Amino acid sequence: EQAKAEREAALKAEQDRIAAQQAEMARQAAIKEEQERLAAEQLAKEEAESAAKAQAEAEAKAKAEAEAQAKAQENKLPQSYVDARNEASTKGTGVTEEKNILSQPIEPPLQADTSAKISLAFDVKNYESMSTTVDNKEIKYRAFEYIPYVANPIDIDQQYMNIYVPEEYFNNGTINGYNTQTAPIFMPNAVGGYMPSQAMTPKVENGKPNSVLYALSRGYVVASPATRGRTNKASDGNFIGKAPAVIVDLQAATAYLHANDSTMPGNANRIITNGTSAGGAVSLLQGATGNNSDFQPYLQALGAATAATNVYAVSAYAPITNLDAADMAYEWSYKGITSFNKVTMGQGELPQANVGGNTAPPQRTMQRVNLNADDVAYSNLLSEHFPEYVNNLQLHDSMGRVLKLDKNGNGTFKNYVKAFIIDAANKAQAKGTDLSKHTYLVRDNKTGAIKDINWEAYNQFVSRSKAPGAFDSRSNDSGENNLFGTSATDNNHFTITAALHDTTPNQDVYVENAKIVTMMNPMNYLGSPAATNARYYRIRYGTTDSNTSVAIPLIVGTRAQNLGYNVDMATPFGVDHSGDYDLDELFNWMDNIVKNGR
């Protein structure tokens, strides 16, 4: 029995040893498994961090490359201007030793004092049925008026939109091949002189439909926004419509259309803007600046819809654009003209364009101006800088020829501009227009066709209507100076040249922040990878319009064309500062790019 007990004890001990060994093996296995799990987690974490780091580096590199490319695409100022701007914060220059040239600090985006939190959902039931008869044809439509396009408006009287929809689209009908889902959205603005604007309404004017009513007759949905302008003030007296307010408002209205695309009639992917004069300029700006982050803080401050801001196409009549290069171009055109008629308007106003063939607002006073020696010297200075500006753009014509100017302002670019005027004259002659008073035209002796123009005689015929410093006035009192004011300052210079040659008695001379000036020029966004550009442009600038140089709209259009966009540019013969005068042709072009575009 003792032997048996010893055997059992030994057996138990062996079993215990084996159990202990198995337990240890299990523990070691568990430890190994845990270590492997931890190692796998650590590896996964490191791989994720490495991937995130690689992605961040790639994104940073892409962003840097995009910014570099965008910067390379930007509107280039002459090096002399750049050098002067770099020195602008120092006291005293070779021009105005007694003055300080200072840059305005960039202001934070304006926002309402209280959050209104207005709904930005389109209400299809909030409308009034209307009809208008044109040429014995009744045009029925639904009017959705005074719709706020931002949740927190700074000025509810300016930040609203009127939307008009053909009645047929609510009855499964079609117009011109369009239906409620496919109808393009015509987006006209009534901006003039960068002043506050109201939303447009369908009207018959002088027996003809305006662009809004005409658009409805052609099957378009119409969305016309009101906007803030340079003279708008808040109750506290601060300005609330200075740059970039007008383009911010237009982008906010565009975002509203995109955000409600699924609920309102019309195709937000086919928005076509339209405007005349300053309205033409901001129409171009809408086309160039889509979805660019420069404008996002301003849109967010207003409670704009979180949606796209790009448009499909642009129509621009007589655009007063590319303002920081416009003074140079103006003197390239009108240098040598020392006596002219100047229209004097009320403070803070500009002559308004004649839109749709209507009578232009009455001119206040006509003053004969004779330039003095200082004016002529300033004209020469500006015109001398223009060739460098043009050459830096590296534009080319449709045949690939580089458009350049020599130091005297002659060259392929000048011939390019002349070609538009020659083409317009030949088209006018073919229609039977009497051209006898246009003695600057040079005819072919055999065919009678216009083959050239005398450039100096042409510009003498049109004549300047503004003194040198046509846009950035040395006396800091133009409408454009007023546009570039701040919330507390009514007017600012916006080019360093005008500031250096300022004629005001002020010791401190302010130039608007370069970022704000950049945001108001489509040349700075066309071709930028950071913006969604429109792909279709129609630009018209009349041959007898002297509100800017004919070169300015052609430069913008040529830049767009060089980028591969579809551009229809023309200089209608004998047309002054006006717009909407060829609605049939405009809407035929619009139909074509919508139905045949992409």
Across residues 433-440, what is the average pLDDT?
A: 95
Say what the pLDDT of residue 11 is: 83
Out of 26-35, 78-87, 208-217, 366-375, pick the least confident: 78-87
pLDDT the model gives residue 76: 47
The pLDDT assigned to 343 comes to 67
More confident residue, 546 or 70: 546
Is 73's pLDDT higher than 50?
no
- Which residue has better confidence, 479 or 17? 479
CA atoms within 13 A on the CB side of 574: 12
Q: Please write the tens of the pLDDT for every residue from 151-198.
A: 999 999 999 999 999 999 999 999 999 999 999 999 999 999 999 999
Secondary structure (DSSP) of 192-214:
-TT--B------EETTEE-HHHH
Average pLDDT of span 120-148: 95
Give the model's confidence band at 80: pLDDT under 50 very low, under 70 low, under 90 confident, else very high.
Answer: low
Position 79 scores a pLDDT of: 53
Across the range 297-321, mean pLDDT stands at 97
Whether 580 shows a pLDDT value over 80: the answer reads yes
**How many whole angstroms from its chain centre is CA 332?**
25
| Confidence check: pLDDT of 148 > 90 | yes
Residue ranges of the chain that CATH labels 3.40.50.1820 = 100-322+522-596, 328-344+367-515
Average pLDDT of the chain to the nearest whole number: 89
Alpha-carbon distance 313 to 227, whole Å?
A: 20
Q: What is the mean pLDDT of residues 523-544?
A: 97
From the list 281, 282, 240, 275, the residue with the least C-alpha distance to 156 is: 240
Cis peptide before 468 (omega within 30 of 0): no
Query: Residue 231: pLDDT above 70?
Result: yes
CA–CA dist 327, 468 (Å, integer) = 7
Q: Indicate whether 94 pLDDT > 70.
A: no
What is the C-alpha separation between 232 and 273, in angstroms, rounded? 23
Confidence label for 289 from pLDDT (cuts 50, 70 and 90)? very high
452-466 per-position pLDDT tens digit:
999 999 999 999 999
For 442, the 3-state DSSP assignment is: strand
Indicate the pLDDT class of residue 542, thresholds 50, 70 and 90. Answer: very high
Partners of residue 314 on adjacent β-strands = 273, 537
**CATH topology (fold) of 328-344+367-515:** Rossmann fold (3.40.50)
Give the model's confidence band at 101: pLDDT under 50 very low, under 70 low, under 90 confident, else very high: confident
Question: What is the SS3 assignment for 26-72?
Answer: HHHHHHHHHHHHHHHHHHHHHHHHHHHHHHHHHHHHHHHHHHHHHHH
pLDDT at 29: 85
Highest mean pLDDT of the ranges 1-10, 21-30, 72-81, 277-286: 277-286
- pLDDT above 90 for 266: yes
Averaged pLDDT for residues 378-403? 96
C-alpha–C-alpha distance, residues 539 and 560, integer Å: 11
Alpha-carbon distance of 416 to 421, in angstroms, equals 9
Say if CB 409 and CB 332 are below 8 A apart. Answer: yes
Structure tokens at 236: 């506290």
Mean pLDDT, residues 222-246 taken together: 96
Q: Give the separation between CA 472 and CA 502, rounded to whole angstroms.
A: 10
Tokens representing residue 106 in the block: 């960039």
State the amino acid at position 293 in one-letter form.
Answer: S
State the pLDDT confidence band at 274, using cuts at 50, 70 and 90: very high
pTM of structure? 0.84
Class at the top of the CATH hierarchy for domain 100-322+522-596: alpha beta
Confidence at residue 5, expressed as pLDDT on a 0 to 100 scale: 81
pLDDT-derived band at 477, boundaries 50, 70, 90: very high
Please tell me the distance from the alpha carbon of residue 522 to that of residue 535, in angstroms, as a whole number.
Answer: 14
pLDDT tier at 82, thresholds 50, 70, 90: low
Res 122 pLDDT > 70: yes
Taking 60 as the threshold, does the pLDDT of residue 91 lie above it? no
